[in-house]
Amino acid sequence: MSNETAASTTTPVNEADEHRKRLIKKSIETYRCYGEQPTLADIESCQIDEQSNSNIFLQITPYFATMDLTKLEDLTYTKSYTYWLNEKKVLFESNVNFLKNIVRRLSSPNNEYLATVVKETKNDQEIQYFQLWKKKSSPSFFEWSPDSKYLIFTAEEKRKPIKSYFNCDKLDDAISNPPNLYQENWGEQMESFELNCVCLFDVEKKEVKLIENLPKNVYMGQAIWNEKCIDEVIFIGYPVEPYRLGLIYCENRASAFFHCNWKQNECKQLNEFDQLCRLHPRSIPNQENKLIYLQCDIYKGHRQCQRLVLYDWIKNEEKILVERVENVTYENSSEPFKAKFDEQFKGLYLPPPRKCFTSDGRYLFLRTYNGTQEVAYIYDMQKNELQSLPSPLNNTSVRILGVYKSYCLASVIDFQTSFKFYLYDLNTKQWHLITENKLDIQLKWSIDRFFPDNEKLPVESIYLQAKSTSAGIKPLFVVIHGGPNASVQVDYYIGAITYIAMGFDVLYINFRGSTGFGQGKRCVSLAPDQKRPVIICGGSHGGYLASSLIGKYPADYDLAVMRNPVTDLVAQYTVTDIPDWVLSQTSNDQFDFINGRNRYDVVKGSMIQQSPVHFIDNVKTPVLLQLGKKDRRVPINLGLRYYENLKARNVPVKLFTYDSNHALAEVIVASDCFVNTILFIDEYFPQSNNLLLFVCSLKLTNRRIMTDGEAVNQEQRVNDEEEIYRDEPIDEDQYLRRMPHLLLLNDDLERTTSFSLNLIGMQNIYSKFQDDNGNISVDNLLKVLQALGKNDLSFEDVLMVCQESWVSVNNRDALLAAFKIFDKEKNGYIDSDEFRKLMTTLGEPLSDEEIDDLIKLPNILNNDGEININELADKLLNDIFADDIDHNSTLNNDDHIKEIEEVNDQNKENI
C-alpha cells in the first residue's frame, strides 16, 4: 500500500487535462442551467366560464417542453391555471403533470376525451399504441369530429417482414410482400412513412374502422371535418408517383384536396396535382363546405411566402384573401423609413394555430414573420381586412398558441425569456399576463438593418451580448441559419444564451433571401469583425455558406464550426432526398421527374463553380465538423470527403459523428455538440495571461525582423485604416464599398464613430504625460487611464493594450513562464510542429519563412527537432529585443510570475 501511495504522489499533474476538465464541467453547468428552461409548446385545453360580464373565469392548461439533462431526453409537462379575467388575477395554479413517451395528443371538442399515441421500444423497434382517455384533454395531431363522437387519424399499414422465401411460413405472404422489396418513403426523418391508411375510431362503440376506397397512389396527410356533416372529411393528399422526394421542411410539394364520405366509402379528388402546394387547412366555424388554407408554388424555395386562400369544396371555388408579398423594399435606413418598413406587412410564412378562429368564425388569428420578429395578425372575414396585433412588450416575438371564443392565448418571447404566457381579450383589446419564466442572466441586443451596395433590399442582423459585460473585446460567434429559405427570429435560443454565458458575443444574420422580407430572391452578405476573433458557425445551408466563406476569404475567419454542411453541390444533387433544392439554389431551375438528377448542363456549370470544395485549396481556418450518421438530407459522405480534403492539405480539422439525423436535435446530441464546440474553440483561443505574453512577444518578433519595405507597407496600411476612422461621421456606404463582401455591424460602427470623435481629446490628455520621444512611462499610463475615466481594467482591456506595437516583453522569467504553458512534457522543450501550428493560428499569424528564421537561430533545436524554450527566450531578449531590455526592472521576477499564474488560473475558471 505504501508503494502505491508513493507512486500516486509522484504522478505528475497534466495541467492541460485539468484545464479541460474544468472547462467541461463549466460547459455542462451552463448548458444545464439554460437548456432545462421550459418553453410554451401548445395549449392542452381552455374552458371558459362566463357567469356574467363581471365574472369571467378561464381554466387554461398549456403544456411545456424542456430537456432532462440528467436522463438526456426531451421532457413535456402540463400545468393548469385558473384566471379571473375581470380582476386580472391567477386564482389557482396546479402542480406539474409530467408526460412520458407521448407522440401525439388531442382533446375532443367537448373536452371529455383525450386521444394519445404512446411509443415504446421493444427489441430495438419502436412500437406505437393508440389510447383513449376520458375526462382529460391535450393537443394536436388527430382530428375530432365536431360532436366528439369520432376521431379520424392516419396510420402506417402493418406489413409482416419476410427475410427470405426459404423461411416464409406462407407463400401467399411472400407473393403479396416479396422479401427485400424496396419500399419508397418520404426521406429525412420520415423513413418509416411508406404506406398509410386512414382510420376512424367510434368512441361509443369503441371500434376502429378502416376507411376504404382511398386512392393507392396518394399518401393522405392533414384532414379536417365538415362542420355541418360529420359523415364528410377533407384530406390533403400527396402523389407518390413517379417517385417521392423528401417531405419534412419542404413546403413546396404538389398536393390536392380529397373529399371523403366515410360512411359510404366514397372518395373524390377535388383538384389536380398542379403547380401548387396546399397546406394547413382549417375549418371555419359556422361555415358549411368552406375552409381556409395556405398556398405556395412547387419546386422552388422550400419555404416560401404563402397565399391565404378561402376554398369552397362544393363549388370547387377559390378566393385569395391575402396575396403573397413579392418584395418589401425601402430606399433609406433613416428613422422614418425604418418605421414605415416595420409597419409593412411582409407576407405569411407560418401555419395558423390549430385553433385559429373565434367561435363566431369572424376573426382569424395568423402567425408570420416581420423581418427578425415573429408577429401576429387578425383577419376580419366580414370586412376582408388584415390588421396587426402588436406585442404587449417591445423587442419581442408573439407566438399565437390558440384561440378560444374571443380570447387568444400566446407566448411572448425574447432572447432572455423562454416564455411570458399572455391572454389577449379581443373584446377589450387588452393583454393579460398569466405567468412567466424569469432567468438570472441579463442580455442586451440590437436589431440592425442595412442597405448594402446601394440596394433597396434590407439585410438585418441581431447582435447579442451580456448586459453587464466589461469593456473590451470578446470572441464573436457568427451564426448563419440554414435553409436558406428560413430566418432567425427574436426567440429563446439555447445556443445563443449558453455561448454568451461562456464569454462570447453572438451575431445572427438574416441575409438577403431569408424568410420574413417578401418572396424576392436575394444573395448573401456576411460580416466578419476585423477587431477580434471570429468563429463562424452554420448547419446545412448555413454550413454551405460557412465553408464557402472560409474558402473565398480565408483571412477573415479564425474558426469554423459546421453541422452537416453542404460542401459539394454535385454530390448533394446525386444523393440527397431533395435534388430539387440543389437546382433551385444554384440555377433557379425547376425540377422535373423525367430528367431527375441528370441535369449535366447544370452540374458542369454552376454546381461545380459554386461548391465549397471548389475553394478548398484556399482554406486555412481550423474547422470543426459535426455530422449525423442517419442524415438523408445532407448524407454523411459529403462531410467525410470534406474532412479528408482538409486533412490532406494540413488544415486543422476535427470531426464528430452522431447517431442522429440532419437536425442533430436529440438532447444527448445537441448537448454534446455544445461541449465539443467549446473545447474546440479553447484549443485555439485559450484565455490565459501566459498565452497573452507569449503571443505579444511573437508579434514583436514579427515587427522587429521586418524589412524596410515591409515596414513602409505596414505603415501605409495603418494610415489607410486610420483614414476610415477619421474625425468625421462615417459614411456607411463608402465603408461597405471598400469591403464589398462584408456587412458592417451597426453597433460596431457606432462604437467606432464615438471613438473617432473623442480621439483628439484623448490625444490632448496623452500629450500632457509624454516625454521628449512622444512616449509615456508605465507609471504615467495609470494617470492617463484615470484621466480618461478608466478606473478598472478587464482582461480584454489588457489584451487590447498588449496587442499594440509599442509593447515590449523585457522580463526573461515572465517570458519563460509564458512559454512553459506549451511545454507539455515539462522538460524545457516545445514540439516544433506544435510551435509552428500555434504561430500560424494565434494572434497575428507568422509566415512559414518567419517561423523558419526563428527556429534556425543557434542552439534553438535539439536533435529531436524540439525547441529549447530557455534558448528561445534568451535569443528573443538578447538578440532581437536588446535595445528594449531593462535588466534593472523594479518588478520582482518571482512576484511577477506568481501574479501571472494567479491571473491565469482565474481566467481558466472564468471560461
Domains of the chain: 443-567+616-685 (3.40.50.1820), 569-610 (no CATH), 759-881 (1.10.238.10)
Give the pLDDT score at 692.
32
Averaged over 851-860, what is the pLDDT?
A: 79
> Per residue in 644-661, pLDDT tens?
999 999 999 999 999 999
**231, pLDDT greater than 70:** yes
Across residues 742-756, what is the average pLDDT? 29
Tens-place pLDDT, residues 209-225: 899 889 989 999 888 99
Q: What is the pLDDT of residue 97?
A: 87
Alpha carbon distance 352, 134 (integer Å) = 28
Give the C-alpha separation, 700 to 358, whole Å.
71
Count how many residues are written for the chain: 911
Tell whether the model's pLDDT for residue 69 goes beyond 90.
yes
**Does the pLDDT value for residue 568 go beyond 60?**
yes
Is residue 360 within 8 A of residue 336, CB to CB? The reply is no
Query: How far is residue 22's CA from residue 17's CA, in Å, rounded to a whole number?
Result: 9
Q: Which stretch of 420-424, 495-499, 806-810 has the lowest confidence by average pLDDT?
A: 806-810
- Within 8 A by CB and 6+ apart from 750, the residues are none
Identify the sign of the CA torsion 603, 604, 608, 614: positive
CA distance 62 to 715: 64
**pLDDT level of residue 802 (50, 70, 90 thresholds):** low
Angstrom distance (rounded) from CA 876 to CA 399: 61
Question: Is 128 a residue whose pLDDT tops 80?
Answer: no
Of 377 and 167, the structure prediction assigns the larger pLDDT to 377
pLDDT of 5 reads 39
CA 35/CA 494 separation, integer angstroms = 6
d(CA 780, CA 770): 8
Mean pLDDT value across residues 743-752: 29
Q: Cell digits for 58?
A: 378561464
Amino acid 708: pLDDT: 30
Q: Which of 820, 818, 842 is nearest to 829 (CA)?
A: 820
- Predicted pLDDT at 192: 86
Mean per-residue pLDDT, 655-669: 97
What are the contacts of 840-843 at 24+ separation with CB within 8 A? 840/620, 841/558, 841/622, 841/652, 841/684, 842/684, 842/691, 842/695, 843/695, 843/696, 843/698, 843/699, 843/803
Give the separation between CA 769 and CA 220, rounded to whole angstroms: 81
pLDDT of residue 739: 27
Q: What is the pLDDT of residue 160?
A: 76
Burial 550-571 (b: 16+ CB within 10 A, else e): bbebeebbbbbbbbbbbbbbbb
- The confidence score (pLDDT) of residue 218 equals 94
Mean pLDDT of 46-51: 88
97-114 average pLDDT score = 68
Average pLDDT over residues 168-190: 88
Model confidence band, residue 418 (pLDDT cutoffs 50, 70, 90): very high
**How much is the pLDDT for 766?**
63
Q: Which residues lie below 8 Å from residue 157, measured CB to CB, with a gap of 6+?
A: 194, 195, 196, 197
Least confident of 250-259, 439-448, 865-874: 865-874
898: its cell numbers:
506568481
Question: Who wins on pLDDT, 444 or 713?
Answer: 444
pLDDT band at 513 (very low <50, low <70, confident <90, very high): confident
Candidates 824, 908, 829; CA nearest to 871 is 829
User: What is the Cα–Cα distance from 633 to 544, expressed in whole angstroms?
Assistant: 13
Q: Assign 776 a pLDDT band (cuts: 50, 70, 90).
A: confident
The answer to whether residue 193 scores a pLDDT higher than 60 is yes
Check if the beta carbon of residue 302 is closer than 8 Å to that of residue 249.
yes
pLDDT at 498 over 50: yes
Residue 788 has pLDDT above 60, yes or no: no
In the predicted structure, residue 703 carries a pLDDT above the cut 50: no
Predicted confidence at residue 333, as pLDDT, reads: 53
Output the pLDDT for position 140: 33
Task: Show the cell assigned to 218.
Answer: 396518394
Which one is predicted more confidently, 731 or 429?
429
Q: Among 245-249, 275-279, 759-763, 857-861, where is mean pLDDT lowest?
A: 759-763
Of the candidates 179, 275, 290, the one whose C-alpha atom is nearest the C-alpha of residue 234 is 290
Q: pTM of the predicted model, to two decimals?
A: 0.73
Percent of the chain with pLDDT over 90: 43
Whether 121 has a pLDDT exceeding 60, the answer reads yes
Beta-carbon count within 10 A of 345 CB: 16
**Stronger pLDDT, 719 or 126, i.e. the higher one:** 126
Mean pLDDT score of the chain, rounded to an integer? 78
Helix (H) or strand (E) holding 628: strand 623-628
User: Does residue 131 carry a pLDDT above 80?
Assistant: no
In this prediction, residues 804-808 reach a mean pLDDT of: 38
Q: Are 536 and 551 in contact (CB under 8 A)?
A: no
Q: Which residue has the higher pLDDT, 542 or 863?
A: 542
- Higher per-residue confidence, 170 vs 843: 170
End-to-end alpha carbon distance in the chain: 39
Of all residues in the chain, what percent carry a pLDDT higher than 70? 71
- Say if residue 855's pLDDT is above 90: no
Residue-wise pLDDT for 519-537, tens only, equals 654 445 454 545 688 999 9
Tens of pLDDT, residues 305-331: 999 999 999 999 999 999 998 877 665
Give residue 450's pLDDT band: very low, low, confident or very high (50, 70, 90). confident
The pLDDT, as a whole number, for residue 338 is: 62
Q: Examine the pLDDT at 277 and tell me if it is beyond 80.
A: yes
Strand partners, 538: 480, 562
* Band (854; pLDDT cuts 50, 70, 90): confident
pLDDT at 789: 54
User: Which pLDDT score, from 0 to 100, does residue 722 have?
Assistant: 32
